[in-house]
Amino acid sequence: MEEALYNKSITCPVCGKKIEVTRVKSRSCIVSSRDTDFCVYYKTVNPMFYDAWVCEFCGYAAQSDRFEEISSRDAEKVIKEISPRWKKRSFTGVRSPEKALEAFKLALYNVQTIDSRPSDFAKICLRIAWIYRMLKDEREKKFLEHALHFYYEVYEKEELPVGKMDEFTCMYMIAELNRRLENYDEAIKWFNRLISSQEARQNKVVLEMAREQYYLTREQKES
Protein backbone atom coordinates (compact mmCIF):
# COMPACT_ATOMS: atom_id res chain seq x y z
CA MET A 1 0.00 0.00 0.00
CA GLU A 2 1.11 3.57 -0.63
CA GLU A 3 2.96 5.29 2.18
CA ALA A 4 0.33 8.01 2.40
CA LEU A 5 -2.34 5.49 3.38
CA TYR A 6 -3.03 3.52 6.53
CA ASN A 7 -5.77 1.18 7.65
CA LYS A 8 -7.91 1.61 10.70
CA SER A 9 -9.98 -1.13 12.32
CA ILE A 10 -13.55 -0.26 13.17
CA THR A 11 -16.72 -2.16 13.97
CA CYS A 12 -19.46 -1.93 11.38
CA PRO A 13 -22.45 -0.34 13.19
CA VAL A 14 -24.85 -2.37 11.00
CA CYS A 15 -23.58 -5.97 11.09
CA GLY A 16 -21.19 -5.69 14.06
CA LYS A 17 -18.23 -7.22 12.21
CA LYS A 18 -14.70 -5.83 12.41
CA ILE A 19 -13.70 -4.07 9.21
CA GLU A 20 -10.69 -2.15 7.97
CA VAL A 21 -11.05 1.27 6.41
CA THR A 22 -8.27 3.04 4.56
CA ARG A 23 -7.42 6.58 5.51
CA VAL A 24 -5.02 9.17 4.18
CA LYS A 25 -2.34 10.83 6.33
CA SER A 26 -3.21 14.50 6.14
CA ARG A 27 0.42 15.60 5.78
CA SER A 28 0.57 13.56 2.56
CA CYS A 29 -2.12 15.67 0.90
CA ILE A 30 -0.66 18.44 -1.23
CA VAL A 31 -3.23 20.62 -2.98
CA SER A 32 -2.53 21.54 -6.59
CA SER A 33 -5.67 23.53 -7.43
CA ARG A 34 -9.31 24.18 -6.56
CA ASP A 35 -12.38 24.57 -8.75
CA THR A 36 -14.96 27.24 -8.06
CA ASP A 37 -17.35 24.64 -6.64
CA PHE A 38 -14.72 23.54 -4.09
CA CYS A 39 -13.53 20.47 -5.98
CA VAL A 40 -9.91 20.07 -4.87
CA TYR A 41 -7.12 18.53 -6.94
CA TYR A 42 -4.04 17.07 -5.30
CA LYS A 43 -0.48 16.60 -6.47
CA THR A 44 -0.49 13.49 -4.36
CA VAL A 45 -3.23 11.18 -3.18
CA ASN A 46 -6.77 12.62 -3.11
CA PRO A 47 -8.27 12.08 0.38
CA MET A 48 -11.80 12.52 -1.01
CA PHE A 49 -11.44 9.16 -2.79
CA TYR A 50 -11.24 7.49 0.63
CA ASP A 51 -14.10 9.34 2.30
CA ALA A 52 -16.86 6.84 1.48
CA TRP A 53 -16.47 3.89 3.84
CA VAL A 54 -17.92 0.54 2.88
CA CYS A 55 -18.50 -2.57 4.98
CA GLU A 56 -17.38 -5.51 2.87
CA PHE A 57 -19.66 -7.88 4.77
CA CYS A 58 -23.07 -6.22 4.71
CA GLY A 59 -22.85 -3.49 2.04
CA TYR A 60 -23.40 -0.60 4.41
CA ALA A 61 -21.66 2.52 3.07
CA ALA A 62 -21.53 6.14 4.22
CA GLN A 63 -19.26 9.14 4.30
CA SER A 64 -16.67 8.72 7.06
CA ASP A 65 -18.08 11.44 9.33
CA ARG A 66 -21.56 9.83 9.22
CA PHE A 67 -20.57 6.17 9.16
CA GLU A 68 -20.84 5.44 12.86
CA GLU A 69 -23.96 7.56 13.42
CA ILE A 70 -26.59 5.21 11.97
CA SER A 71 -29.72 4.55 14.09
CA SER A 72 -30.80 0.99 14.89
CA ARG A 73 -33.92 1.49 12.76
CA ASP A 74 -31.82 2.47 9.75
CA ALA A 75 -29.37 -0.36 10.41
CA GLU A 76 -32.31 -2.79 10.15
CA LYS A 77 -33.27 -1.24 6.80
CA VAL A 78 -29.74 -1.81 5.49
CA ILE A 79 -29.83 -5.45 6.63
CA LYS A 80 -33.25 -5.98 5.07
CA GLU A 81 -32.82 -4.10 1.80
CA ILE A 82 -29.10 -3.84 0.98
CA SER A 83 -27.35 -6.85 2.54
CA PRO A 84 -29.37 -9.55 0.68
CA ARG A 85 -28.24 -8.13 -2.68
CA TRP A 86 -24.70 -7.41 -1.57
CA LYS A 87 -21.82 -9.23 -3.26
CA LYS A 88 -18.96 -9.31 -0.79
CA ARG A 89 -16.03 -7.19 -1.95
CA SER A 90 -13.35 -5.11 -0.34
CA PHE A 91 -12.78 -1.37 -0.59
CA THR A 92 -9.64 -1.35 1.55
CA GLY A 93 -6.34 -0.17 0.06
CA VAL A 94 -5.49 2.07 -2.88
CA ARG A 95 -8.52 3.45 -4.69
CA SER A 96 -8.57 4.44 -8.33
CA PRO A 97 -11.09 7.15 -9.29
CA GLU A 98 -13.34 4.33 -10.55
CA LYS A 99 -13.16 2.49 -7.22
CA ALA A 100 -13.88 5.75 -5.36
CA LEU A 101 -16.86 6.29 -7.64
CA GLU A 102 -18.17 2.83 -6.83
CA ALA A 103 -17.83 3.52 -3.08
CA PHE A 104 -19.70 6.84 -3.36
CA LYS A 105 -22.45 5.20 -5.42
CA LEU A 106 -22.87 2.65 -2.64
CA ALA A 107 -23.06 5.50 -0.14
CA LEU A 108 -25.74 7.08 -2.34
CA TYR A 109 -27.67 3.81 -2.47
CA ASN A 110 -27.52 3.69 1.34
CA VAL A 111 -28.78 7.26 1.87
CA GLN A 112 -31.65 6.46 -0.50
CA THR A 113 -32.53 3.46 1.68
CA ILE A 114 -32.30 5.00 5.15
CA ASP A 115 -33.61 8.25 6.65
CA SER A 116 -31.32 10.93 5.29
CA ARG A 117 -31.08 14.68 5.12
CA PRO A 118 -30.92 16.60 1.82
CA SER A 119 -27.38 17.67 2.81
CA ASP A 120 -26.28 14.01 2.88
CA PHE A 121 -27.57 13.56 -0.69
CA ALA A 122 -26.08 16.87 -1.85
CA LYS A 123 -22.61 16.06 -0.55
CA ILE A 124 -22.52 12.59 -2.09
CA CYS A 125 -23.94 13.68 -5.48
CA LEU A 126 -21.44 16.55 -5.66
CA ARG A 127 -18.52 14.23 -4.98
CA ILE A 128 -19.75 11.79 -7.63
CA ALA A 129 -19.93 14.71 -10.08
CA TRP A 130 -16.35 15.72 -9.17
CA ILE A 131 -15.00 12.22 -9.80
CA TYR A 132 -16.76 12.17 -13.19
CA ARG A 133 -15.16 15.57 -13.89
CA MET A 134 -11.72 14.15 -13.12
CA LEU A 135 -12.49 11.26 -15.46
CA LYS A 136 -13.75 13.72 -18.10
CA ASP A 137 -17.03 11.84 -18.19
CA GLU A 138 -20.16 13.74 -19.21
CA ARG A 139 -22.20 12.08 -16.45
CA GLU A 140 -20.75 14.88 -14.30
CA LYS A 141 -23.63 17.07 -15.48
CA LYS A 142 -26.32 14.65 -14.34
CA PHE A 143 -24.85 14.52 -10.83
CA LEU A 144 -24.40 18.29 -10.66
CA GLU A 145 -28.12 18.50 -11.41
CA HIS A 146 -28.91 16.02 -8.63
CA ALA A 147 -26.64 17.92 -6.21
CA LEU A 148 -28.28 21.22 -7.15
CA HIS A 149 -31.74 19.81 -6.51
CA PHE A 150 -30.65 18.80 -3.01
CA TYR A 151 -28.93 22.12 -2.26
CA TYR A 152 -32.27 23.85 -2.90
CA GLU A 153 -33.83 21.44 -0.40
CA VAL A 154 -31.06 22.07 2.12
CA TYR A 155 -31.67 25.80 1.81
CA GLU A 156 -35.43 25.47 2.23
CA LYS A 157 -35.69 22.71 4.81
CA GLU A 158 -32.54 22.27 6.87
CA GLU A 159 -31.30 24.27 9.76
CA LEU A 160 -28.02 25.82 8.70
CA PRO A 161 -25.12 25.51 9.31
CA VAL A 162 -24.92 21.78 8.54
CA GLY A 163 -21.37 20.68 9.33
CA LYS A 164 -19.07 23.18 7.65
CA MET A 165 -21.77 24.52 5.32
CA ASP A 166 -23.38 27.78 6.41
CA GLU A 167 -26.31 29.53 4.75
CA PHE A 168 -24.02 31.58 2.50
CA THR A 169 -22.04 28.62 1.25
CA CYS A 170 -25.33 26.89 0.46
CA MET A 171 -26.53 29.93 -1.52
CA TYR A 172 -23.19 30.07 -3.28
CA MET A 173 -23.45 26.39 -4.28
CA ILE A 174 -26.96 26.94 -5.69
CA ALA A 175 -25.65 29.85 -7.75
CA GLU A 176 -22.43 28.20 -8.88
CA LEU A 177 -24.03 24.87 -9.84
CA ASN A 178 -26.66 26.76 -11.84
CA ARG A 179 -23.81 28.59 -13.61
CA ARG A 180 -22.03 25.34 -14.40
CA LEU A 181 -25.30 23.96 -15.78
CA GLU A 182 -25.66 27.11 -17.91
CA ASN A 183 -28.79 28.31 -16.10
CA TYR A 184 -27.31 31.79 -16.14
CA ASP A 185 -30.39 33.80 -15.06
CA GLU A 186 -30.93 31.60 -12.02
CA ALA A 187 -27.21 31.76 -11.19
CA ILE A 188 -27.20 35.56 -11.42
CA LYS A 189 -30.29 35.72 -9.20
CA TRP A 190 -28.59 33.70 -6.43
CA PHE A 191 -25.18 35.37 -6.70
CA ASN A 192 -26.94 38.70 -6.52
CA ARG A 193 -28.93 37.65 -3.48
CA LEU A 194 -25.73 36.63 -1.76
CA ILE A 195 -23.74 39.73 -2.71
CA SER A 196 -26.51 42.07 -1.55
CA SER A 197 -27.00 40.29 1.77
CA GLN A 198 -25.65 42.21 4.77
CA GLU A 199 -25.22 39.02 6.80
CA ALA A 200 -23.13 37.39 4.09
CA ARG A 201 -20.23 39.60 5.23
CA GLN A 202 -19.75 37.01 7.96
CA ASN A 203 -18.30 34.73 5.31
CA LYS A 204 -15.81 36.88 3.44
CA VAL A 205 -14.27 34.06 1.42
CA VAL A 206 -17.60 32.99 -0.06
CA LEU A 207 -18.70 36.58 -0.59
CA GLU A 208 -15.55 37.32 -2.57
CA MET A 209 -15.98 34.18 -4.66
CA ALA A 210 -19.63 35.12 -5.31
CA ARG A 211 -18.58 38.54 -6.60
CA GLU A 212 -16.11 37.02 -9.05
CA GLN A 213 -18.53 34.37 -10.23
CA TYR A 214 -21.31 36.93 -10.61
CA TYR A 215 -19.25 38.90 -13.16
CA LEU A 216 -18.14 35.73 -14.88
CA THR A 217 -21.77 34.56 -15.22
CA ARG A 218 -22.82 37.88 -16.71
CA GLU A 219 -20.04 37.61 -19.26
CA GLN A 220 -21.00 34.04 -20.05
CA LYS A 221 -24.63 35.03 -20.48
CA GLU A 222 -23.76 37.71 -22.99
CA SER A 223 -21.38 35.67 -25.09
| Contact status, residue 56 vs residue 17, Cβ threshold 8 Å | no
How many residues form the binding site for Zn ion (CB under 5 A)? 7
Nearest approach in angstroms of CB 15 to Zn ion is 3
Nearest approach in angstroms of CB 55 to Zn ion is 3
Candidates 4, 5, 14, 128: give the one binding Zn ion (CB under 5 A): 14
> Is the CB of 67 or the CB of 150 nearer to Zn ion?
67
Contact call for residue 216 and Zn ion (CB under 5 A): no
Nearest approach in angstroms of CB 2 to Zn ion is 25
Say if residue 39 is exposed, middle or buried (CB neighbours under 10 Å; 0-12, 13-18, 19+): middle
Q: Tell me how far apart the alpha carbons of residues 141 and 133 are, in angstroms, rounded to a whole number.
A: 9
* Alpha helices (H) along 52-117: 64-67, 72-77, 97-113
CA distances from 100 to 39, 52, 104, 194 (A): 15, 8, 6, 33
Stretch that binds Zn ion, among 11-19, 66-74, 160-168, 170-178 (CB under 5 A): 11-19
Stretch that binds Zn ion, among 22-30, 51-59, 131-139, 193-201 (CB under 5 A): 51-59
* Spatial CA neighbour of 4 closest among 99, 103, 93: 93
Judged by CB under 5 A, the chain residues 128 through 167 that form the site for Zn ion are none
Q: Tell me how far apart the alpha carbons of residues 41 and 201 are, in angstroms, rounded to a whole number.
A: 28
Stretch that binds Zn ion, among 49-57, 100-108, 125-133, 142-150 (CB under 5 A): 49-57
Contact call for residue 21 and Zn ion (CB under 5 A): no
Nearest approach in angstroms of CB 131 to Zn ion is 24
| Contact status, residue 160 vs residue 154, Cβ threshold 8 Å | yes
Nearest approach in angstroms of CB 80 to Zn ion is 13
Q: Tell me how far apart the alpha carbons of residues 216 and 223 are, in angstroms, rounded to a whole number.
A: 11
Nearest approach in angstroms of CB 120 to Zn ion is 19
Say if residue 106 is exposed, middle or buried (CB neighbours under 10 Å; 0-12, 13-18, 19+): buried
Judged by CB under 5 A, the chain residues 53 through 82 that form the site for Zn ion are 55, 57-58, 60
Candidates 12, 100, 170, 171: give the one binding Zn ion (CB under 5 A): 12
Contact call for residue 15 and Zn ion (CB under 5 A): yes
Q: Which residues of this chain interact with Zn ion, rule CB under 5 A?
A: 12, 14-15, 55, 57-58, 60
